[in-house]
Amino acid sequence: MKCVQVTEPGQLTHADTAEPTGSDPGHAVVRMSTVGICGTDVKILSGAIPVSYPRIMGHEMAGVVEMAARSGPPTGRRVLIDPAIVCGTCALCRKGRGNLCLEGGLLGRDADGVFAEYISVPSHRLLEIPDSVSGAAAGLLQVLGTCVHAQRSAPVFPGDTAVVLGLGVSGLLFTQLLRQCGVTVVGVTRSEWKQELARRLGAAAVATPGDARSVLEELTEGRGADLVVEAVGIEATLSQSIELAAVGGEVLVFGTLTSGSQGLPYYQLYFKELTLRNPRAATIDDYARGIELAASGALDLEAIVTDHLGLADASEAFERVKSPDSLKVLMSIT
């Protein structure tokens, strides 16, 4: 079967490899339809996240069951794969927190992933995708699940005000999820076209990073935000999140921060009695909820897709991910 592998840092290779046989009765063979590129894939390709080489990348997908397992979705059914690799027996797995499995991993990083024609996976990691979800929208279901997981960790209420710092794919998903909860959303980005898209997707106001405080203060009469979603992943935006949060507010650190040297406004953390939440990945229930929302028409996922290429164009697709005029980049497999 055709696949895309990373063979060393910076080296993307098209290869042929053996198709899964479907010999394990607990596993289903899934034929890929659409796969998405995320920041983790970009870091794996660059070498910033080390993997064993060669590695078939990818963990965002929508596909069709080619060979069904003894249980689970039947042959021909559209499915999403929960890409988490879990042991099922550690203390966290037993508590239903498999996203934090002590022996866990991720498809495309710790095992071969979905940038291929087929993959064999445990049938209990499959979730059916209704026909009402388009092919393009299905390509965003995995990242939507992670946003659902994150928002579930930070309770919000109708009438609350939230700031979303960073209007990339996840920031625009948060904008819509928060609007579904009756929250007034302020979207923050330097990009004018992303500001306009955020308005179309439900943001009550938009601002550049430099104007965010004044826009928020006018909207809240100086109180600040009940919730700030940091969806960039750098120290400067985390620091700004703390500054924008209201007394007693919450900061949802969705962007993955790995370093920093300037420090944070620590006194504000104390003075405001802020809660910082650091959600990671998602559980299968989060993916199920995301699929439910997508199927209901409550969210506009297609609006976030800017590029749809083929697997043969993987190198171009990775270049598009880096472009300031792109959001979600998908690749069709078949």
Domains in the chain, CATH or no CATH each: 2-140+301-332 (3.90.180.10), 147-277 (3.40.50.720)
CA separation for the pair 279, 261 (Å, rounded): 23
> Cα angle vertex 13, ends 11, 18, to 5°?
140
CA separation for the pair 185, 188 (Å, rounded): 10
Non-local CB neighbours of 178 within 8 Å, separated by 6+ positions: 151, 156, 162, 164, 185, 202, 227, 229
Q: What pLDDT is attached to residue 321?
A: 96
Provide block-wise average pLDDT over 10 residues at a time, the chain (334 residues): 97 96 94 97 96 98 97 98 96 95 97 98 97 97 98 95 98 98 98 98 98 98 98 96 98 90 92 97 97 98 98 97 96 90
Q: What pLDDT is attached to residue 22?
A: 84
DSSP string, 286-332: HHHHHHHHHHHT-S--GGGEEEEEEGGGHHHHHHHHTSTT--EEEEE
Chain mean position to CA 271: 32
Using alpha carbons, select from 158, 300, 327, 304 the residue that is nearest to residue 227. 158
